[in-house]
Structure 1
Amino acid sequence: IALTLSKSLDLKTILKDALDEILEFMSVDAGVIYVINEETLEMIPVAFKNLSEEVIRDLTEVRVKVGECMCGTIAEADREVIIYENASKDIRFTRESLKKEGMEFYVGLPIKAKGKVIGVLCVINHEPFYPSPELLDILRATTVPLGLAIENSLLFENIKSELKQKKKYYNFENIITGNPVMLELLNTVRKIVDIPTTVLICGESGTGKELFARAIHYNSIRKDKPFIAINCSAIPETLLESELFGYSKGAFTGATTSKKGLIETAHGGTLFLDEINSMDGKLQAKLLRFLQEMSFYPVGSTVPVHVDVRVIAATNDDIEKSIKNGRFREDLYYRLNVVRLDIPPLRERRDDIPLLCKFFLNKYNKKLNKNIRKISDDAFSILYNYSWPGNVRELENAIEHSVILDDDNIITEEDLPQRLTRKIPSTKDGDLSLESIEKRHIEMVLALTGGNKKEASRLLGINPATLWRKLKSYTTT
């Protein structure tokens, strides 16, 4: 049975083949394997054999739930039922078609995975039958591999369904824009999806760099392989190398086993390195060697690992300035910068704000079970003219905030986050540079959150590490 169940992940195929084997070694006439629908609790007859047309029609067209009929009772009670003769007369068989089937012998066994009933195995004979205790024990034992096979198959189906949803979600048509610059970027992306070149995505935090990276992956020939994303600024420098490249047993204190790195995990797929500008010089050199050779040495290992990975890197920093300052390797930059995508900040694509507002309004109406019909003219004017230092992510946050607070189905100025409606105080020297405006805006948000940097970064729509870096830069300038 175990060998039969391991041949495929198609649930109908493996359960049908397994049922054939079970009926043969039991020397009985017919059988059914039910699988429980976790959401509806319906008993789904996935595999059946040698049942009358009336019974098959009844089982497939009118489904019973857990607790109903014989099979549902077995599932609910998590208890086997064995009837040696006159089974059709048992009152737990509530279907008329089963009563007419002329069952004499019946066994119903719960099928479990991780202690939970996920199905029921039923075997039937039309003559009285008294199997030996040893034969019944063998039958009981088959429910273990059946449970594992059903669990694995359902998990595989869930993964396929999730992948299908991701492919649909990250379809190019779902990137909300009408802006000419953005449309040209999408046109470029369409040309490179199946070319295994490195891509460098530049743009401020919240502009959608990871959205573009995922769109490239899920529209490419690599779409069925892993997409692995890592934020280089979110992992301490001392750990980033082993996270990316993995390590061998004994490489350092605590390395009791070898561990595969994210690069190897992404084999066949895409590796997305976000905020690559925060990577230190030593690791930049190792990454460069990997990009040149598509092989690397895990920490503490002398055996090279060869992989096939597409690398997409992203930065929210002025990377050319980082090169001039000696913080980023020029040779690594050229290796990454084969195709470059510069995503404009939201303040430079204000024509997308109406489209994005409508999209996010619909999204949070559904998510929060609201029915907000519109955004008032005054509120929209504020949304349109705001500077959006946190870009699209901050706009989404603002719409979600407004939908939560609204109670009259129209978003007004009063529903908007305070930071949008409060004027940014002017500086004594009248400095209107982008850096100065951004600094004052961050200071204002920090004041609103009482200095809570985690909450401030959430409101701004940026990573806490990015906020910390910006604050540090303000103290050194």
Structure 2
Amino acid sequence: MSTALPTILLVDDEHHSLASMRMALEDDFDCLTAASADEAMRLLEEQFVQVIFCDQRMPGKSGVAFLTEVRERWPDIVRIIITGYTETNDIIAAINDAGIYQFLTKPWHPDHLVMSAKNAADLFRLTREHDRMALEMRFLSRSLESKVEEQRKALREGLGFENVLRAPNSPMNGVIAQARQFASFDVPVLITGEPGTDKAALARAIHYSSLRSDRPFFEVNCAGVDDDILEVELFGARRGAMPGRQTQKTGLLRKADGGTLYLRGVSELSQDMQRRLARFATAGTFRPLGSPEMERSDVRLLGGTDRPLGTAVAEGRFRADLFYALGQTTLSVPPLRARVEDLSILSQHLLFAAADRHGKPVHGLSDDALRFIERYDWPGNLRELENEMVRMLIFSQDSVLGPELISRHILQASPDTAEADRSVDSVLVSEGTLKERVEQIEMRILRETLTRLKWNKSRAAAELGLSRVGLRAKIERYGISEPGKTAVSDREEED
């Protein structure tokens, strides 16, 4: 992106002098010209000028007198006066009184004129930056308590509940309202929800909306991690306690002292790790690996689980004391299939984030694409939606992404949003005659193929092994219509 050139005002009653100065400077500067002090003053009132070159001898008002007036009204403008050899000594005092940056003598050399102009423009820029920095320093010199409060506010705004994207009528609104209440009380929270529902974002929002927001927030994945590794990660280890390592390891329970620790996948903890965490959750104490003594830490625990822990407690797979310690309050995050209202906002946000990450700018999703996205179940929730947005971005050729880019299994989802299960597998095991179930699958394949091929019926018929007349008959039979059209056109698109 090109930057604007500095603006210089040239003032001289001799037109050939103005033309010569302009010719020397116009490659590097935006030049304004005036033949008198009055004309120059009018230009200054209308234009943003950084530097003035002004001749000393002009009819009516001298250069020094004019620049003195400029100093009073626009003190930041860098002022340069041009004089003749015979008058230099006579106006030194006047130049000082006018606060003039430099004077040039006639005849001037073009290179000297350009160098003076560049130095003056740099001086103007540096003066502005100095004033800005001085203002910032005065702003930053407030009390430490005020600065900490501003930092906490910034964190709350950037990582708080406002960061959980949702529509005005979202099913998440009730969950967020509960979470706000829990955030203000220093108690553990157990967050439940299907995989991929981003329970960690809710945990972060709770932390940054709590009284602990100026203290650390950590999260650890408890699923699929060996106890030896998880023990050191959580509780830490003394020097020499780990084979091959002679340094001390500080655990997250110590690092998060005064803050919050989010335990992802707590349902996957082994019985031994459940016992050790239950002791910390109830007594606030833990023992690092290799240490003979217990340590104490003040950490708020937040737990996340994909499975209902109540059932695991009843079956003896999860300790009741840890369950009740973590579950003083509980939140349930709904899956994407229950958040149809949010899908437009979430998909557009994930698409723009992917576009920014990969350096491929786009303008968003088309309305037709959003309709397909909103009627799919998204069993993988936000992770699956994010993957689909990245995939569409990779194959996109236009700035607005259409439904032809959507994965085939999503395009084949039933258009009936009232259905509880829209997968093709559900049709195979559903009730109904063989003909009825085959027709359901056929209708979905037709819709998916037409959408993917941008409703080019010739290409769709060729891919499906149908004649164009046969394809048109099936479209009419199933009532399939191109988005934005209510009737099937008899005109066939050619390849």
TM-score, scaled relative to structure 1: 0.53
Partner of 1:262: 252
**Paired AA for residue 288 in structure 1:** A
Deviation of the 1:252 alpha carbon = 4.3
CA contact (8 A) 1:376 1:410 kept: no
Structure 2 equivalent of residue 170 of structure 1: 159
Superposed, 1:114-263 pairs within 5 Å as 166-178=155-167, 179=169, 181-263=171-253
The 1-side partners of 2:347 and 2:280 are apart by: 42
Q: Tell me by how many angstroms 1:356 deviates.
A: 1.6
> 2 CA distance for matches of 1:234 and 1:160?
39
CA pair 410-292 structure 1, distance change in 2 beyond 3 A: same
Alignment match, 2:363: 372
Of the three residues 296, 301, 313, the one matched with 1:323 is: 313
SS of match in other structure, 1:426: helix
SS in 2 for 1:347: helix
**Structure 2 CA distance for aligned equivalents of residues 422 and 189 of structure 1:** 37
Alignment of 1:25-424 (within 5 A): 166-178=155-167, 179=169, 181-367=171-357, 368-377=359-368, 379-421=369-411, 424=423
User: Partners of 1:162 and 1:180 in 2: how far apart?
Assistant: 30
Q: Tell me the SS of whatever aligns to 2:348.
A: helix
- How far off its partner does 1:431 sit? 7.0
**Match in the other structure for 1:29:** none
Alignment partner of 1:233: what SS? Answer: coil
Counterpart in the other structure of 2:425: 426
Question: Contact between 1:291 and 1:335, CA under 8 Å: does it hold in 2?
Answer: yes
Percent identity over paired residues: 33
Q: Which AA in structure 2 matches 1:349?
A: R
Alpha-carbon distance between aligned partners in 1 of 2:77 and 2:307, rounded to the nearest angstrom: 60
Q: CA deviation at 1:255?
A: 4.3
Is the 1:229–1:274 Cα contact (8 Å) retained in structure 2?
yes
One-letter code aligned to 1:371: V
In the alignment, residue 290 of structure 1 is paired with which amino acid?
F
Q: Distance in 2 between matches of 1:163 and 1:235?
A: 33
Counterpart amino acid of residue 339 in structure 2: R
Shift of 1:284: 0.4
Query: Which digits, 9 at most, give the CA deviation of each residue in 1:226-249, with x for residues without a partner?
Result: 111100114222221121101122
| 8 Å contact kept, 1:372–1:403 | no
User: Per-residue displacement from partner, 1:86-114 (whole Å, max 9, x unpaired)?
Assistant: xxxxxxx99979xxxxxxxxxxxxxxxxx
Q: Distance in 2 between matches of 1:175 and 1:345?
A: 14
Alpha-carbon distance in structure 2 between the residues aligned to 1:361 and 1:163: 29
When structure 1 is superposed on structure 2, of 241-250 and 194-203 the one drifting more is 241-250
How far apart in 2 are the matches of 1:187 and 1:403? 34
Q: Confirm or deny: 8 A CA contact 2:366 2:403 kept in the other structure.
A: no
Distance in 2, matches of 1:200 and 1:61, equals: 63
Which amino acid in the other structure matches residue 177 of structure 1? Answer: R
SS in 2 for 1:211: helix
Higher relative contact order (CA 8 A, sep 6+): 1
Flag the structure with larger Rg.
2
2:363 is aligned with what amino acid?
A: I
- The amino acid that maps onto 1:329 is R
Given that residues 248 and 255 in structure 1 are in contact (C-alpha distance below 8 angstroms), is that contact kept between their aligned partners in structure 2? Answer: no
8 Å contact kept, 1:245–1:262? yes
Unpaired runs of 5+ residues, structure 1, are: 1-59, 63-92, 98-158, 433-477
Q: Compared with structure 1, are the counterparts of its residues 431 and 251 closer, same or farther at alpha carbon in structure 2 (3 Å cutoff)?
A: farther
Gaps of 5+ in 2: 1-75, 79-114, 121-147, 414-422, 432-495
Q: Distance in 1 between matches of 2:296 and 2:424?
A: 55
**CA shift for structure 1 position 301:** 1.1
What displacement does 1:291 show?
Answer: 1.0
Shift of 1:160: 12
- Contact map agreement 1:246 1:259 (CA 8 A) in 2: yes
- CA distance in structure 2 between the aligned counterparts of 1:165 and 1:395, rounded to whole angstroms: 29
Q: What is the Cα deviation at residue 275 of structure 1?
A: 0.3
Determine the C-alpha separation between the residues in 1 that align with 2:365 and 2:268: 41
Deviation at 1:311, TM superposition (A): 0.6
Q: How far has the Cα of 1:366 moved from its partner?
A: 4.2
Q: In the aligned structure 2, how far is the partner of 1:251 from the partner of 1:206?
A: 36
Alignment length, in residue pairs?
Answer: 283
What are the Cα deviations for residues 362-390 of structure 1, in whole angstroms up to 9, with x where unaligned?
4344443423343242x323211212111
Q: Distance in 2 between matches of 1:408 and 1:320?
A: 49
Alignment partners' CA distance in 2, 1:359 and 1:162: 26
Q: TM-score, normalised to structure 2's length?
A: 0.52
- 3-state DSSP class of the match of 2:425? coil
SS across alignment from 1:247: coil
Cross-structure match for 1:51 = none
* 8 A contact 2:155–2:213 mirrored in 1: no
